[in-house]
Amino acid sequence: MNIGQIRYFVAVYQAGSFSKAAKDQFITVQAVSKSIADLENELGRPLFERKSRGVAPTPFGDLLFHKAQETLASFDQLQKIAFAPEKETPPSLRLALCAPDFANNAQTRANIAMLLSSRIGAPVDVSLSSGYDGLSMMREGKVDALITVGRLDTPFTECVSALSSPTAVSVPSDHPLASRKTVTLDDLADYPVIVDPDLDFFNESILATYVKRGVRSERFTPKTKEDMLEHFMKRQGYAFSVAHEALADSKLGNAIIPIDPADAVEIPICLVTLKGVDNPLCKKALASFAGKAPL
């Protein structure tokens, strides 16, 4: 018994004749007749009584018909599912946030993705990357754009300020400045500032911005993460940051202290794309922030 025989059996039952069933199924009468005969031989019982004008189902044919009809409907539904064209994966916006591995970065990235997704009406994925790695991924087509803290200007990229953020410093919780509500550049002059070579040499970072404004701190470039932590904790170093308490890390034991308004500058949060690449979702993302308040 196969699905073709079931289909022709149902067609003959509904049509009341082999010739009409054949016409409905776009096959020859001989093919329908042979299929029904093969099915009857296999089942060992007749399904129809042959009459001068068509056929009539036997009691066994009546019994078989209802289940055959259900089976055929299920098979047709299965075919629709199996051969339905695959739905295209909705386009998504892939971003790399160029930032150090800060506390709660997974939640921060999820928040950015959720906010942007709601504004542009498409899925958004935000990964964390160094500046140079992010740029390489963008050139290789692995991400659509970069989010940078501070402007990035290269011959092959376009940089648009999407938002801005107030600035701060991150210091150990036992740092002499940790209890201050704000700090000035003069306050910071006696303490070494940590340089992140993957970011501070990459774009117009917060440190690069404040160097232009006359920060006098000794600059220290750590070679390893352990080297950076030792310098940060034991030598009372500090690092520039955006002014968000979420960046305070209880495990690291650091505090986020805003820059005094007299010295403070807002740092642009930028969307960086490759020149000549027309990405509608990037345009939507930028448009969604037009006229919005700073972060």
DSSP codes, 49-76: EEETTEEEE-HHHHHHHHHHHHHHHHHH
What's the pLDDT score for residue 234? 73
pLDDT band for 293, please (50, 70, 90 cuts): very low
CATH top-level class of 3-83: mainly alpha
> What is the enclosing helix (H) or strand (E) of 136?
helix 131-139
Domain ranges of the chain: 3-83, 93-288
What's the pLDDT score for residue 248? 65
Q: How far is CA 11 from CA 46, 84, 249, 271, in A?
A: 16, 25, 73, 63
Average model confidence (pLDDT) across the chain: 87
Q: How far is CA 282 from CA 92, 119, 175, in A?
A: 10, 11, 41
Per-residue pLDDT tens for 145-194? Answer: 999 999 998 888 999 888 889 999 988 888 999 899 999 999 999 999 98
**Is 294 a residue whose pLDDT tops 60?**
no
- The reply to whether 93-288 shares the fold of 3-83 is no
Q: At what angle do helices 105-120 and 280-288 cross, to 10 degrees?
A: 100
Name the CATH topology of 93-288. D-Maltodextrin-Binding Protein; domain 2 (3.40.190)
**Centroid of chain to Cα 176:** 42
Per-residue pLDDT tens for 109-147? Answer: 998 899 889 888 999 999 999 999 999 999 888 999 999
What's the pLDDT score for residue 204? 92
Q: CB–CB of 171/255 below 8 Å?
A: yes
Per-residue pLDDT tens for 215-237? Answer: 899 888 887 777 777 767 777 88
Beta partners for residue 146, in sequence order: 96, 272
